[in-house]
Structure 1
């Protein structure tokens, strides 16, 4: 799954990595412990004809048509996102990218769960595939897609966020590309060999108390 991540790359680095024209944005907040149920940075087209923007979306997906008691998942699986009634409309028309520098997963060790930080070995940003929908309050809410873990990520957890390779970013964001099979043909996940990880302090367990860069230091 993906339940906690870090984003500390500055906007110029993200823009260079994205390689797509973006409307100007202000400085991004440095966050080493991004938790669900908060506003997070995303890249998306607010509608089919709008230019690409980097703005804030709520990490929790609940379409306005679903009602206030509907679930608010933070993740959607690649196995079901295109076919589930809850997600398929957003998959076809409202895809987004969530930038991150790495994410956290917990490995059971000697009766406790040891957090690990997973990131690109080359220090480049990650781009998580996401979907978004307008919430009842008119603001966007999103879910990050997950897939079966690959490479060294399998050592920590059975699933991982769907991080896309550079050539997949533009088609994933294309609002006019709606066919499921075509999307599958042109969108590919990041090479798993680029991912590395190490154990970190359990201070990451409490987002309200831990937000500094020391969270990603090897334990």
Structure 2
């Protein structure tokens, strides 16, 4: 997953925002259990990191519970990333074609994510002291597998709620396997979406191939 989703219906984000920017997230406070909605930095920065050399934007669902970097967050610090669609790039030899993708019925939805607070970044970094996150990915659905060999875990509303509140690894893996949308629509979009400075409605318009 290369480019960012639009969140025009859920926040004040743009049509083409890359990693290293703030996006709208929901998370459950480990201390109070309260679910909060607010901005989070796209790029998972561990609370012990003093720079952003290690800031993955994605985490593989199949191995996330066993990775030292993500295990604590998988168990206790999960989040939901608000989205209207996402972009993937299809490779055909030397050519790359971007596609916009969303659940078949459209409308806003959530990606499953993990979060960590960037507690030790230099004070002048925009993510210093802020919540940061990575999006969970898995095998692609059959109707979009021709575009890319991975897809973000786009959860139904019921699954999204369960993602925040369940605690056992078994249940969490079941949510990722069974709780995502089962049908998607996709359409080719202009290659100018590859430049984040092109942040306008035209980047999601269908193009003829």
Using the size of structure 1 for normalisation, the TM-score is 0.83
Question: Structure 1: how far apart are the matches of 2:52 and 2:77?
Answer: 22
Could you tell me whether the CA contact under 8 Å between 1:61 and 1:141 is conserved in 2? yes
Cα offset for 1:199?
Answer: 0.6
Between the two proteins, the alignment pairs up a number of residues equal to 198
* Residues 110-167 of structure 1: CA deviation (Å, up to 9, x unaligned): 6321111111232222210000001123211100000011122201000000111222
Q: Report whether the alignment pairs 1:126 with 2:103.
A: no
Question: Structure 1: how far apart are the matches of 2:41 and 2:64?
Answer: 18
Runs of 4+ in 1 over 6 A off after TM superposition: none
Q: Superposition pairs for residues 190-205 of structure 1, below 5 Å? A: 190-193=180-183, 195-205=184-194
Task: Give the RMSD, CA atoms, in angstroms.
Answer: 1.8
**Bigger shift: residues 50-59 or 98-107:** 50-59
**2:172 pairs with one of 183, 188, 206:** 183
* Residues 19-54 of structure 1: CA deviation (Å, up to 9, x unaligned): xxxxxxxxx214111210111110112333152121
Could you tell me whether the CA contact under 8 Å between 2:27 and 2:36 is conserved in 1? yes
Cα offset for 1:184?
Answer: 2.6
Change (3 A) 1:9 1:65: same
Question: Structure 2: how far apart are the matches of 1:106 and 1:31?
Answer: 19
Residue matched to 2:163 = 172
**2:137 pairs with one of 146, 164, 181:** 146
Residue matched to 2:124 = none
Using the size of structure 2 for normalisation, the TM-score is 0.87
Question: Structure 2: how far apart are the matches of 1:186 and 1:199?
Answer: 29
Could you tell me whether the CA contact under 8 Å between 1:152 and 1:192 is conserved in 2? no
Question: Structure 1: how far apart are the matches of 2:65 and 2:30?
Answer: 19
Structure 1, unmatched stretches of 5+, are: 12-27
Residue matched to 1:17 = none
Could you tell me whether the CA contact under 8 Å between 1:9 and 1:125 is conserved in 2? no
Residue matched to 1:23 = none
**2:94 pairs with one of 102, 107, 111:** 111
